[in-house]
Chain A
Amino acid sequence: MLDVIIALMPCVVVSVILFGFKALVLYATSCAGCVLCEYISRKIMKRESTVGDLSAVVTGILLAMNVPVTLNPLIILFGSVVAIVVVKQMFGGIGQNFVNPALIARIVLLTSFPSKMTNWTAPFAYLSGSADAVSSATPLADNSNISYLKLILGAHGGCLGETCAVAIILGGIYLMLKKVISPVIPCVYLGTFAIFTLLSGNDVIYGLLSGGILLGAFFMATDYTTSPINFKGKIVFALGCGILTFVIRTFGALPEGVSFAIIIMNILVPHIETLTLTKPFGSKRRTAKNG
């Protein structure tokens, strides 16, 4: 888990630079909320504390990355209660949650506070003095094109962690080098999405760099607990994520589809696993079928 936190650090740093001190407040509130919820719920359930495994901190950081900087810290505190208490601990704690806690929390916040969750600010707005002076749209909702360079560097409106492509990819590469995640899910996810976008005649690079798809592909879809164990299962899972993201973005009413796509595939994981179970070495039953 420490590796994941290290990998998330570039994003955290960049978002604090882009959106100012308020971003740091959100990160701190979210993490503190998650850790506290984890501690208290384990205590109430009379189980061994699992705060030390740092998984609550990761959830906290990821949750904060999924909200705009203008959000009231109290709302994100509510989000962390949803993530840790409802999604994680009520299902048995680490390793037992069937969906990604941070993503469910984001969706709960999005449906409960739709306007507050989509109140984007342009980067560096905090420098001009008044926090709500300049509002800006996320590139997905905004039809005026933002240059690729701005997208890569993150100098555009959006959630805290999703704007800067370079920082996300840097973190993703770190995780792959440390062998914490395998490249299968991010590559297949992004690849599928890119192919479908290309076929539909949209701008592939714009699609990949905007919105939360990079953050989702590297940090959300690769979550061990909510993705399939086997190699084949991982491919099916990532394919599904890619297609659903494309479908929701292109045909859905929402501008963003990453969180819903990943959540839907999370729910399907047990079935994917049953269908893609590896054939044991020399297994009689299944070799007979194959001839």
Chain B
Amino acid sequence: MSAKNNINVPFPKKPYKTHGGVHPHHNKTTSGVESVIMPPPEYVTISMNQNIGADCIPCVKPGDTVYLGQIIGDSDKYMSVPIHASVSGTVEKIIKQRDPAGRISDAVVIKSDGLMTPYLDLKAENPQNLSELTDTVRQSGLVGLGGAGFPAHIKLNVPEGKDVDTLIINFAECEPYITADHREALENSWDVFSGIYAFKDIIGIKRVIIAIENNKPDAIEVLKRIADNPTYDPDDLVRILVLKASYPYGAEKVLIKACTNRVVPEGGLPSDVGCLVMNITSVSFISRYIKSGMPLVSKRVTVDGSAVKEPKNIIAPIGTSVKDIIEFCGGYKSEPKKLILGGPMMGVAIADDSECIKKNTNAILAFDEAESSLMRETACIRCGRCAQSCPMLLTPPLIEQQLKLNNLDELKKLDVMNCMECGCCAYSCPAGKHLVQMMRNAKAKLRNVK
């Protein structure tokens, strides 16, 4: 019997309706440029805070010799992922570092010997069941590479009793400028599919939807050719779903609604509605790790923005400083007024270019003065554009009103906690109001009450 008959969940022909969204300029100028592997920098500073959850504790000391892929930090906490040396060389020092959000964590500084000698104990894996799979993925050091940095092994460790039938490969890449996933899909398209096949059956996935925004026609074509070929996908379990480019399709809950018409309940997880969402680069990394045993030590990063001389994607060791990376891209064209780690909509602004990239960094953007100026903030005239664009169907003006009154009960009623800080409201506000900050304040107020 062909497995085709087992599909009790049909594939969507077109995306289901989602609410809101905005259409910023794509600015994906680097999508046609092949990624360049960056030579190891002289120093890397690897933060011990690389994922959502617990920080790692360094397990090396100054003076130690480390090899590429050797574990340098780990933790026994559940929400943690080991951290590996991204270059071979000597541990110079262990420092306390403040991240852009203000949290202090340890960081291991390694002086590179320039040889990139791999660690000898690395070996290929072949996970057969769920616990082996989650162990393997944890050992690989993988965190969600889409940007959030959620530990991947926890995502894959589907709780018992939850029937997950759909795997959604998140290839929306809806943030402007970023093309790191796009290049990954073009350069390593085979890895994507072997990654899917490596863990699909272990979790019991019945259908795989690769969700792509229509601004990447070349990637759609390449992936479609593989997915539609019966030799590689005999059961026709993997299909491409083309989304009409709109921000924020890449947001997990929005993507699940668009792909399956299922709604993740407030405070719930994708597994509550039988879905598993993984970033495309994460999937292809799992495939490479299983084959080679080389953990997550380098990251493809889009370097772009009006102040960068040669915008392109580069593959850099984790812990490389922004300064080194921009220098590798020809340096600054003009004085950068704003540096952002991540995309322009949800990325984090950093104080200077001494900041180092982490596992979940997917872009470095440097903007000159003209592109980083802020709109003058004026009064809200209740035009409703924010509410119209909110993918979570919130009403920011009413929330702002209640926040000013410090009326926490009303704030709770307006479901402020549903906000994912995608920034659509602030983007569409003609009064230039800093609505995301306002929502964050409101969320923080509610959190402190609990």
Contact = CB atoms under 8 A, between A and B. Distances in A.
Nearest to B379: A95
B266 A224 contact: no
A229 B265 contact: no
B394 interface: yes
A281 to B, nearest CB: 5
Contacts of B393: 278-281
Contact of A229 (B264, B379, B384, B418): B384
Nearest to A280: B415
Nearest to B396: A229
A281 B391 contact: yes
B293 interface: no
A284 B266 contact: yes
A94 B415 CA distance: 27
Interface in B344-395: 378-384, 387-388, 391-395
Q: Which secondary structure dominates chain A's binding surface? A: loop
Interface string A225-240: 1011111000000000
Interface residues of B, number: 28
B398 interface: yes
Contacts of B265: 282, 284, 287
A95 B392 contact: no
A35 B210 CA distance: 56
Nearest to A226: B382
A278 B388 CA distance: 10
Interface in A149-205: none
B72 to A, nearest CB: 39
Interface in A81-118: 93-96
A7 to B, nearest CB: 15
B54 interface: no
Given A229-B397, A273-B398, A287-B265, A282 B253 contact: yes
Contact of A225 (B264, B266, B381, B418): B381
Contacts of A96: 379
Contacts of B381: 55, 94-95, 224-225
B237 interface: no
Interface residues of A, number: 24
A280 B381 CA distance: 22
A278 B387 contact: yes
A112 B381 CA distance: 30
A230 B387 contact: yes
Contact of B418 (A55, A227, A281): A281
A225 B264 CA distance: 34
B395 A278 contact: yes
Contacts of B102: none
Interface in B259-279: 263-268
A95 B381 CA distance: 4
A68 B378 CA distance: 35
A230 B384 contact: yes
Contacts of B397: 229
A283 interface: yes
Interface in A120-172: none
Interface in B396-418: 397-398, 414-415, 418
Interface in B192-246: none
B98 interface: no
A224 B383 contact: yes
B269 to A, nearest CB: 11
B346 to A, nearest CB: 17
B4 interface: no
A110 to B, nearest CB: 26
B162 interface: no
Interface in A219-256: 224-225, 227-231
B19 interface: yes
A277 interface: yes
A224 B263 CA distance: 31
Contacts of B383: 224
A281 B387 CA distance: 12
A73 B397 CA distance: 38
Given A94-B379, A281-B263, A224 B418 contact: no
Given A55-B381, A282-B265, 10 more contacts: A50-B378, A95-B379, A227-B382, A229-B395, A230-B395, A277-B395, A277-B398, A280-B414, A281-B393, A282-B264
Interface of A: 50, 53, 55, 93-96, 224-225, 227-231, 273, 277-284, 287
Which 10 A-B pairs rank lowest in CB-CB distance, beginning with the nearest? Answer: A229-B384, A280-B415, A95-B379, A278-B393, A224-B383, A95-B381, A281-B392, A284-B266, A280-B418, A224-B381
21 contacts: A94-B381, A95-B379, A96-B379, A224-B384, A230-B384, A273-B398, A277-B414, A278-B394, A278-B395, A280-B392, A280-B414, A280-B415, A281-B19, A281-B391, A281-B418, A282-B263, A282-B265, A282-B266, A282-B418, A284-B266, A287-B265
Interface of B: 19, 253, 257, 263-268, 378-384, 387-388, 391-395, 397-398, 414-415, 418
